[in-house]
Chain A
Amino acid sequence: MSRTLAQKVWDAHVVRRADGEPDLLYIDLHLLHEVTSPQAFDGLRLAGRKVRRTDLTIATEDHNTPTDNLLTIADPVSRTQIETLRGNCAEFGVKLHPLGDPQQGVVHVMGPQQGLTQPGMTIVCGDSHTSTHGAFGALAFGIGTSEVEHVLATQTLPQALPKQMAVTVTGELPPGVSAKDLILALITQEGTGGGRGYVVEYRGPAIEKLSMEGRMTVSNMSIEWGAKAGLIAPDETTFAWLKGRNFAPKGSDWDDAVAYWRTLPTDADAVFDKEVFLDASALTPFVTWGTNPGQGASLDAVIPDPESFASESERAAARRAVEYMDLTPGTPLRDLAVDVVFVGSCTNGRLEDLRTAADVLRGRKVADGVRMLVVPGSAAVRAQAEEEGLHEVFTAAGAEWRFAGCSMCLGMNPDTLKPGQRSASTSNRNFEGRQGKGGRTHLVSPAVAAATAVTGHLSAPADLDAVGAR
Chain B
Amino acid sequence: MEKFTVHTGTAVPLRRSNVDTDQIIPAVYLKRVTRTGFEDGLFSAWREDPSFVLNNPVYAGASVLVAGPEFGTGSSREHAVWALNDYGFRVVISPRYGDIFRGNSLKQGLLTVELPQAAVETLWDLVEADPTTAIEVDLVAREVRAAGQSWAFALDDFLRWRLMEGLDDIGLTLRHEEAITAFEGHRPAFGVLVG
Contact = CB atoms under 8 A, between A and B. Distances in A.
Interface in B63-86: 68-70, 73-79, 81
A54 B195 contact: yes
B78 A144 contact: yes
Interface in B152-171: 156-158, 169-170
B37 to A, nearest CB: 12
A20 B18 contact: no
Contact of B32 (A77, A150, A429): A77
28 contacts: A15-B179, A20-B157, A21-B158, A26-B184, A35-B30, A36-B76, A55-B194, A64-B31, A77-B31, A95-B194, A95-B195, A121-B191, A126-B76, A144-B78, A147-B103, A153-B170, A153-B174, A154-B180, A158-B169, A196-B96, A197-B99, A254-B190, A292-B18, A313-B68, A316-B16, A412-B30, A431-B20, A433-B26
Interface in B19-41: 20, 22-23, 26-28, 30-35
A292 B35 contact: no
A77 B30 CA distance: 10
A16 B27 contact: no
Given A313-B68, A316-B17, A260 B173 contact: no
Given A35-B77, A144-B81, 16 more contacts: A20-B158, A29-B192, A42-B35, A55-B195, A115-B192, A118-B192, A150-B170, A153-B173, A153-B174, A197-B99, A226-B98, A292-B20, A316-B17, A429-B22, A432-B23, A433-B23
A16 B193 CA distance: 23
Contacts of A143: 76, 100, 103
Sorting the interface of chain A by its residue count into under 10, 10 to 19, 20 to 34 or 35 or more gives: 35 or more
B70 A192 contact: yes
Interface in A99-115: 115
A78 B31 contact: yes
Interface of B: 15-18, 20, 22-23, 26-28, 30-35, 45, 68-70, 73-79, 81, 96, 98-101, 103-104, 107-108, 117, 156-158, 169-170, 172-174, 176-177, 179-180, 183-184, 187-195
A214 interface: no
Nearest to A250: B190
B117 A313 contact: yes
Give the secondary structure class of B's interface. loop
B22 A434 contact: yes
B178 to A, nearest CB: 10
Contacts of B16: 316-317, 320
A411 interface: yes
A121 B179 contact: no
A52 B177 CA distance: 11
A253 B189 contact: yes
B36 to A, nearest CB: 9
A24 B176 contact: yes
Given A16-B179, A412-B28, A434-B22, A116 B73 contact: no
Contacts of A147: 103-104, 107
A29 B32 CA distance: 26
Given A57-B194, A432-B23, A228 B99 contact: yes
A128 B35 contact: no
A228 B98 CA distance: 9
B173 A158 contact: yes
Contacts of B33: 38-39, 42, 80-81, 84
Nearest to B183: A15
